[in-house]
């Protein structure tokens, strides 16, 4: 297996690269350097908007599968910087998809639960996207590109990803929450945003499994528990032995320039549970897994 991973300096991709089989040859594309090394792993550090450099990597490596995690994922940044967000989330995805089809590589594309408007609940793969913010719009367009251009593809929609970085720094809300609790500070989470959080270890394993499978189409990767972000933070504090009183309700709508968020984008993961050997976990088991992995 020759696996290429984009955005390899990120939180999710770190789990993919860190858990990939030692027998695989892995080519990791990153925007910033990462110290992690192992036999069979190579790093290329450059901006994926460099089409010529990207094409050279594909030509040299000729991957069997590509897990495309690279994205501009900050919702508020995307709303305020639409040109950059489109270049990365749409333009780069189009270039990666074109090269995957040219080199007959299987493409695993990472999308998001925020492609939905939040007016329903427990969205399935058959539900029609209707995003409320520009980030969600770019991800819908990315999905359409991959579906239309790459014969061998999987479009995964991820719920809120929870955990600690496997390699690299990553952007982990759990790490920030733990640090705040240790310092005796309060942590604020919204009480109106409902998600089905998935842990980063399980997610990495699921993506690697999909890279080796023959499945084609959409798949929702999410945890077993549907809860508000506030309730999730309370359970995390309790699991770590801190008082739930440290977790307070945060009213994000009062933040200037904040892009709109859907209320309930919980995902139905029945297809993943039926298709994958990797089990989808409840929050308690997921916390056990990510904390033990450190």
CATH code where residue 150 lies: 3.40.50.720
> What's the pTM value of the predicted model, to 2 decimals?
0.94
Q: Is there a domain that residue 256 lies in? A: no
Residue 129 lies in a domain: yes
**pLDDT of amino acid 211:** 97
The pLDDT value given to residue 169: 65
Within a domain: 260 = no
The answer to whether position 157 is within a domain reads yes
User: What's the total number of domains in the chain?
Assistant: 1
Q: Answer whether residue 107 is part of any domain.
A: yes
SS3 readout for the chain: CEEEEECCCCHHHHHHHHHCCCCCEEEEEECCCCCCCCCCEEEEECCCCCHHHHHHHHHHHCCCEEEECCCCCCHHHHHHCHHHHHHHHHHHHHHHHHHHHHCCCEEEEEEEHHHCCCCCCCECCCCCCCCCCHHHHHHHHHHHHHHHHCCCEEEEEECCEECCCCCCCCCCHHHHHHHHHHCCCCEEECCCCEECCEEHHHHHHHHHHHHHCCCCEEEEECCCCCEEHHHHHHHHHHHCCCCHHHEEECCHHHCCCCCCCCCECCECCHHHHHHCCCCCCCHHHHHHHHHHCC
3-class DSSP state of 2: strand
Domain annotation covers residue 236: no
pLDDT computed for residue 43 by the predictor = 96
User: pLDDT tens across 59-77, in order?
Assistant: 999 999 999 999 999 999 9
- The reported pLDDT for the residue numbered 200 is 95
Task: Identify the domain containing residue 218 by its residue range.
Answer: 2-161+199-223+267-281
Residues with pLDDT less than 70, the chain = 168-170, 253-255, 293-294
For residue 171, tell me if it sits in a domain: no
Q: In the prediction, which pLDDT does 81 show? A: 96
Does the residue 244 lie in any domain? no
């Amino acid at each position: 297996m020759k696996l290429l991973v984009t955005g390899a300096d990120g939180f999710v991709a770190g789990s993919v690269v860190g858990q990939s089989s030692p027998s695989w040859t892995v080519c990791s594309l990153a925007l910033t350097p990462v110290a992690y090394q192992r036999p069979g792993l190579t790093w290329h550090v450059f901006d994926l908007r460099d089409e010529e450099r990207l094409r050279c990597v594909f030509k040299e490596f000729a991957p069997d599968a590509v897990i495309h995690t690279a994205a501009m994922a900050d919702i508020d940044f995307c709303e305020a910087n639409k040109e950059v967000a489109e270049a990365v989330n749409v333009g780069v995805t189009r270039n990666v998809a074109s090269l995957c089809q040219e080199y007959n590589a299987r493409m695993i594309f990472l999308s998001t639960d925020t492609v939905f408007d939040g007016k329903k609940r427990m969205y399935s793969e058959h539900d029609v996207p209707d995003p409320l913010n520009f980030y969600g719009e770019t991800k819908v367009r990315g999905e359409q590109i991959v579906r239309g251009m790459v014969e061998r593809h999987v479009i995964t929609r991820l719920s809120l990803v929870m955990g600690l970085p496997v390699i690299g720094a990553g952007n982990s809300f759990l790490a920030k929450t733990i640090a705040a609790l240790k310092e005796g500070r309060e942590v604020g989470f919204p009480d109106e945003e409902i998600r089905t959080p998935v842990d980063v270890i399980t997610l990495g394993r699921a993506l690697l499994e999909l890279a080796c499978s023959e499945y084609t189409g959409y798949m929702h990767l999410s945890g077993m528990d549907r809860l508000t972000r506030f309730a999730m933070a309370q359970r995390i504090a309790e699991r770590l032995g801190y008082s739930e009183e440290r977790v307070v309700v945060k009213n994000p709508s009062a933040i200037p320039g904040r892009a709109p968020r859907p209320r309930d984008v919980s995902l139905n993961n029945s297809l993943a549970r039926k298709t994958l050997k990797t089990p989808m976990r409840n929050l308690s088991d997921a916390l056990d897994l990510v904390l033990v992995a450190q």
